[in-house]
A and B are shown apart, each in its own frame.
Chain A
Amino acid sequence: MSVLARSVGNAFRNKVRTAAVVAVLAVAIGLALAMLVANQAVGAKVQELNASVGTVLTVNPAGGQGFEGGGEPLTAEQAATAAAVPNVSAVVGTQSLRLRNATEAAAQAAAGTAGGPGGGQGGPGGQSSATLTTSLTAAVDAGTLGGRNQAANGTTGTAGTTPPARSLPITATGIGAEVDTTGKALAITEGTGLGDYTAESTSALLGTTLAEKNSLTVGSTFTINDQAYTVAGLFDAGTAFGNNAVYVTLPTAQTLAGLPGELSSMIVTVDSLENVASTKTALEGALGPDNADVTQGQNLETALGSLGSVKNISLIAFIAALGTAGLIILLIMVMLVRERRREIGVLKAIGAPNRTIGLQFVLEALVLAALGSAAGAAIASFASGGIASALISTNSTSTTAAPTTGRGAAMAGAAGGAGLPGGGAGFPGGQGGPFGGAAQLVTSVTASASPGVIAAGIGAVFGVAIIGALVPALLTARIRPIEVLRGE
């Protein structure tokens, strides 16, 4: 009979106790593993979010955002200044345009109810109204929110009359690179990009829903201010609002707006996440706080923050569960070894070297830990998905409050120019825009049990089991045999 056979035999010496030990171990190990898996899943998602958008800063004219607020417009020179700031890896200028359906605009003007300056919906103050006509029809219905906003913005008091149905404007943005207004690469689902974004072109990119609403596909044409544009590609921004948009090259938009060299915002990419805060300060200094507002993707910060707290909770729970598993194994092994002190004394008395005694008890511990881990891994694979989604749904309950605030900020943007970055969400009818996307990301986090994660957790458990068996066994083996044989 070998040491191994003896150890395995000993592990099953008392079957009821072995079953109880394995069951307790399995629960503790299962919980620890489930937490580790949840932690890993959230961690991966945080990294993904950081990598994609965490390093983007948005620069708006001071006191202005999109078409709202006041101040001086940004210029190409300021873009060059921003690009020269250390750690800035890219600066993309944008020029926003507001497109109105030509027919509807004419009808509304005729009805005399939309009396804003320039016949459009230019906000009070802000950048000169770059409202242009188009053959496109908006893909988003005005609804209650839109109606309210439009009334607040444009109507000159026709109290008592029922407001007519209004259509929403369409966002057209001139971009200096193939990115959206939050700096993320555009997800082009059909066709191609615009090629050179620094040259004028009659190609355009359309959001999927906008193209659908107007029955346009790649190669179709539409007009802006009676000039024909060809649809080069379709993109999916992930939100209904984001897809009600058109992208053209930056010079095209500047020409259409009649504002050559002017930018409505700049999207600044910082080389690494650690440098974002310092670069933000440096940018503010370089551009002058009177000229430009530099903002970070607050929506994403919020999302990251809440994901981070989930990560922390799951990490703490993992450590607690692993600690509990470790403590249980430790105590069980110490008890098992203690119970068999006399046996250790006998082995020692008939000439067993300490390493043989240590090995025997370590192997016995490993058998128990292996059984516990196997059962625990089974529990974890059933429980981890549930635990991860439970953690994340708890979290999204707390963040659902945020979009409300976001919407409030979007409205406040009409007066103060604060609001969410990228201008997009500041539009009437906005629904928290990018924030909806972030929330979607949060809920899409799903735990998957990676072999490495499981191995790390089980490895830790085995380590504790080995220590819990080895230390008391060796301590006992060091005592002179006669004392151990005589008992307590």
Chain B
Amino acid sequence: MIEVKNLVRTFNSGDRTIKPVNDVSFELEQGTLASIVGKSGSGKSTLLSLLGALDKPTSGDVVVNGVSLAGMPDAKLTEYRRRDIGFVFQQFNLIPNLSAVDNVMLPMEFAGIRKAVRLQRAKDLLVQVQLDPEKHDRRTNRLSGGEQQRVAIARALANEPQLILADEPTGNLDEQTGDHIIELLSSLSRNHNTTILVVTHDRALANKTDRRFRLQQGKLTEEPASRPVVAASA
């Protein structure tokens, strides 16, 4: 369960102040698959990084399972990111000189998981995101954009987080592979009770989520469920 309370993030660019996130409040039950849509530059990535404790809000708070992120010390925030959050970056942010497997193993290494276990799990995850097995040991700077995107998704799933924050996870994928990723995420929310918040421009993807939000001029509005939940349509 994640509660977002009156979240504000302002930036000073030159002489004017911009507010991509301006008094945003919402709640997500554990296991919900939700999406955020909005125009480019509307503040979607900014909101996601606040939820993922990569950035600090100007004001407001994020409460995860009753624990407030505001005022949490740096080491605790790091632990929160390592244990509770799986973040898929819009720019992937893989370590370029490490192989796909090594990249996926990193969060597990930080969590202190034994090497044999994390190697096996990393390979399983890469299979799940449909990365060609012969590319598992390839350095990620020699993979295509879509391949890198899938490695980034696999890395986000590594520590079985309770909240996955994915910024445009299908932006570089063909329709078929994109559909597969959506399936993967919705099965996680259904079968593992994982809360998933996806930022997307893809209307089809958004329509398959339990709850849909729109970010506009710093304000978040929820669209009424036009259709029953994804599970029913699948």
Contact = CB atoms under 8 A, between A and B. Distances in A.
B78 A351 contact: yes
Contact of B54 (A9, A343, A485): A485
A1 B102 contact: yes
Contacts of A481: 54-55
Interface stretch (A282-290, A311-319, A352-360): A352-360
A353 B82 CA distance: 9
A80 interface: no
B93 A349 contact: yes
A471 to B, nearest CB: 17
For the residues of A in contact with B, the DSSP-based class is: helix
B83 A346 contact: no
Given A1-B98, A6-B98, A478-B74, A350 B54 contact: no
Interface in B87-116: 87, 89, 91, 93-95, 97-98, 102, 105-107, 109-111, 115
Interface string B192-212: 000000000000000000000
Contacts of A351: 78-79, 81-83, 85, 107, 110-111, 159
Interface in A1-59: 1-3, 6, 9-10, 13
Interface string B67-91: 0000000110011011101010101
B123 interface: no
B49 interface: yes
Contact of B93 (A1, A346, A483): A346
Interface in A432-488: 478, 480-483, 485
A350 B94 CA distance: 10
Interface residues of A, number: 26
A347 interface: yes
A348 interface: yes
A349 B95 contact: no
28 contacts: A1-B98, A1-B102, A1-B109, A2-B109, A2-B115, A3-B109, A6-B102, A10-B97, A345-B93, A347-B95, A347-B106, A350-B82, A350-B87, A350-B110, A351-B79, A351-B81, A351-B82, A351-B85, A351-B107, A351-B110, A352-B78, A352-B110, A353-B110, A354-B74, A354-B75, A480-B54, A482-B49, A482-B55
Interface of A: 1-3, 6, 9-10, 13, 342-343, 345-354, 356, 478, 480-483, 485
